[in-house]
Amino acid sequence: MTSRPSAEDAKAVGKEIEASRPRSVADALAKQRIDMDSLAGDLKQELKAKETKIIAFDGIYKDLSEIILMAAAGGTTNETLKSIKRLAAKGSVRILGASGEKTLVAIDMVNWGVRQKARMDAQKLLDMYPVETKKIQLDEGTLSAILNGLPAGVGEAVRAELGRLISSKRD
């Protein structure tokens, strides 16, 4: 038979659990080893993001030169075939295999969507965007209702600050 923990044991366990709980978002991130350096590293990787697109071509081909020759012989205006020729020179195109009457080709490309989002994140972090301002218009009754709902002392402080701002705008 097991005995129930004493009140002191329960308090000790409670304190232990409380001590292990993160105190803030920053503490939680730090506990998972997410800090500014790791985020900067992730951002750097995102700025170099690539993706692989898979395209199916009609016909069975053994290598890229056959696809390129077919495109040239056909006098194609197909932009996909033109881009394969251009990308093949960089080594970023490869044949995955053929089945039936189709050949699968993998093309490694720049992922512009991820790169753009990463660039925008970096610019925000470096304060390269102007501060956003919003103009809000409230009637006297709405403003009073909002201020009356604030804790004691806060409403009066906000009223005083608003009064100061309004009088400084008039001057």
Is residue 6 in a domain? no
pLDDT of residue 76: 59
Rg of the Cα atoms in the chain = 32
- Structure confidence at residue 75 (pLDDT): 61
- Residue-wise pLDDT for 97-149, tens only, equals 888 888 888 888 889 999 999 999 999 888 888 888 888 887 888 878 888 88
Q: Provide the percentage of residues in the chain whose pLDDT is more than 70.
A: 85
Q: Is residue 88 part of a domain?
A: yes
On whether residue 127 sits in a domain, the answer given is no
User: 23 pLDDT band (50/70/90 cuts)?
Assistant: confident
Whether 94 and 141 map to the same domain: the answer is no
* CA pseudo-torsion sign 141, 143, 148, 152: negative
Residue 103 lies in a domain: yes
Tracing tokens 């009088």 back to the chain, one arrives at 167
**For residue 53, which amino acid is it?**
K
The total number of structural domains in the chain stands at 2
The verdict on 70 and 106 lying in the same domain is yes
Q: Report if residue 37 sits inside a domain.
A: no
The parent domain of residue 142 ranges over 137-171
Could you tell me the pLDDT band of residue 21, with boundaries at 50, 70 and 90? Answer: low
How far, in Å, CA of 143 to CA of 158, rounded? 11
At 22 the pLDDT is: 58
In a domain, 118, yes or no: no
**Which residue(s) pair with 104 in the sheet?**
56, 97
What pLDDT is recorded for position 130?
84
Same domain, 105 and 56: yes
Q: Where is average pLDDT lowest: 2-6, 37-41, 127-131, 167-171? A: 2-6
Residue 57 domain-assigned (yes or no) = yes
pLDDT digits (tens, 9 = 90+) for 73-84: 666 566 766 667
